[in-house]
């Protein structure tokens, strides 16, 4: 998470959802997503500083209009992760001159966020797909569904959670190939407040950014939890070992 990260916002129409340029409600929701991006990246900058690291995020598409995109797809992209990875990856590669943006902003990292104007009736939670899931997903992006599960508007804690995935953090609320069930049980028993375990439905981020999170996003090289619970090694450590 070290260095300068460029955040590209893509307001996306698909087969079932759209943004209306003439709707003040939609404009308000778009500015709300930007506000959430600012809050979540400020949180991440502060957490990185606790570890002596400098993490900067460039996300403001009002100030930097070339960070704002609109996309239209004929498919229905409000669906569980992976189904249309190729379609979205191809769109990014064909429509965004990332080399130019990277050098203009002197960016070390790039994250793409597709925003969908979903109604509350949408039952798909926001998700991320990228390298920390599998190396084949080398273009990393998040799908942010702005309303979900009947009552929720996606809030800054969820943004921070998804952005951390882009840097290598793993979900801790279910057993997966990186995190064994015993560790999930331990977090459950100890009422963990880790942001990769649980997120609050609030504008403020009251979740904890733990040493384990710092380890997975590449801010520290060691974490006692990893050996104690037999958790996966950080992708940042693996890269170093592989390439010297
Ligand atoms: Zn997650």
Give domain status of residue 194, yes or no. Answer: no
CA 196 to ligand 1 centroid distance, Å: 6
Distance 154 CA to ligand 1 centre (A): 13
Rounded to whole angstroms, how far apart are CA atoms 62 and 65?
6
Query: In this model, does residue 244 exceed pLDDT 50?
Result: no
In a domain, 7, yes or no: yes
Specify whether the CB–CB gap between 227 and 185 falls below 8 A: no
Per-residue pLDDT reduced to its tens digit, 52-77: 999 999 999 999 999 999 999 999 99
- Measured in angstroms, how far is the CA atom of residue 219 from the centroid of ligand 1? 19
Residue 221 lies in a domain: no
Cα of 104 vs centre of ligand 1, distance in Å, is 31
Note whether 150 and 124 are within 8 A (CB). Answer: no
Does residue 227 belong to any structural domain of this protein? no
33 CA from centroid of ligand 1 (Å): 18
Q: What is the pLDDT of residue 130?
A: 86
How far from the centroid of its chain's Cα atoms is residue 229's Cα? 25
Q: Separation of 65 CA from ligand 1 center, angstroms?
A: 29
Query: pLDDT value at position 134?
Result: 83
Q: How far, in Å, is the centroid of ligand 1 from the Cα of 179?
A: 13
Ligand 1 centroid – CA 24 distance (Å):
31
Distance 127 CA to ligand 1 centre (A): 6
Q: What is the pLDDT of residues 148-177, one digit of tens each?
A: 999 999 999 999 999 999 999 999 999 999
Query: pLDDT value at position 138?
Result: 87
- Count other C-beta atoms under 10 Å from residue 227's C-beta: 10
CATH classification at residue 166:
3.40.390
By residue range, what is the domain housing residue 93?
3-171
Within-domain flag for 215: no
Q: Is residue 12 part of a domain?
A: yes
On whether residue 208 sits in a domain, the answer given is no
Residue 13 belongs to a domain? yes
C-alpha to C-alpha distance for 176 and 121, rounded to whole angstroms:
28
Question: What total of structural domains would you count in the chain?
Answer: 1
Q: Measure 136 CA to ligand 1 centroid, in angstroms.
A: 18
How far is the centre of ligand 1, averaged over its atoms, from the C-alpha of 198 (Å)? 9
Q: Which residues of 4-28 are buried (b: 16+ CB within 10 A; e: fewer)?
A: bbbbbbbbbbbeebebeeeeeebee
Secondary structure E strands in 65-196? 68-72, 109-116, 127-129, 141-145, 147-148, 152-153
How many angstroms is it from 161 CA to the middle of ligand 1?
6
pLDDT of residue 123 exceeding 90: yes
Distance between Cα 50 and ligand 1 center (Å):
23
């Amino acid at each position: 998470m070290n260095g300068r990260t460029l955040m590209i916002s893509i307001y996306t129409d698909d087969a079932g959802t759209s943004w209306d340029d003439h709707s003040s409600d939609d404009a308000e929701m778009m500015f709300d997503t930007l506000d959430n991006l600012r809050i979540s990246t400020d949180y991440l900058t502060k957490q990185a500083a606790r570890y002596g690291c400098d993490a900067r995020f460039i996300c403001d598409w009002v100030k930097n209009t070339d960070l704002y995109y609109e996309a239209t797809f004929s498919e229905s992209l409000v669906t569980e992760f992976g189904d249309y990875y190729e379609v979205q990856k191809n769109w990014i590669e064909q429509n965004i001159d990332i080399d130019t943006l990277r050098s203009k902003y002197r960016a070390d990292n790039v994250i793409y966020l597709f925003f969908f104007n979903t109604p509350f009736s949408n039952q798909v939670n926001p998700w991320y797909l990228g390298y920390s899931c599998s190396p084949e997903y080398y273009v990393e992006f998040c799908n942010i569904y702005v309303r979900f599960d009947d009552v929720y508007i996606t809030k800054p804690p969820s943004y921070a959670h998804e952005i951390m995935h882009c840097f290598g953090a793993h979900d801790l609320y279910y057993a997966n190939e990186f995190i064994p069930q015993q560790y999930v049980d331990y977090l459950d028993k100890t009422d963990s407040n880790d942001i990769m375990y649980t997120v609050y439905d609030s504008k403020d981020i009251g979740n904890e950014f733990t040493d384990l999170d710092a380890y997975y996003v590449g801010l520290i090289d060691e974490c006692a939890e990893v050996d104690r619970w037999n958790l996966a090694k950080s992708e940042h450590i693996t890269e170093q070992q592989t390439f010297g």
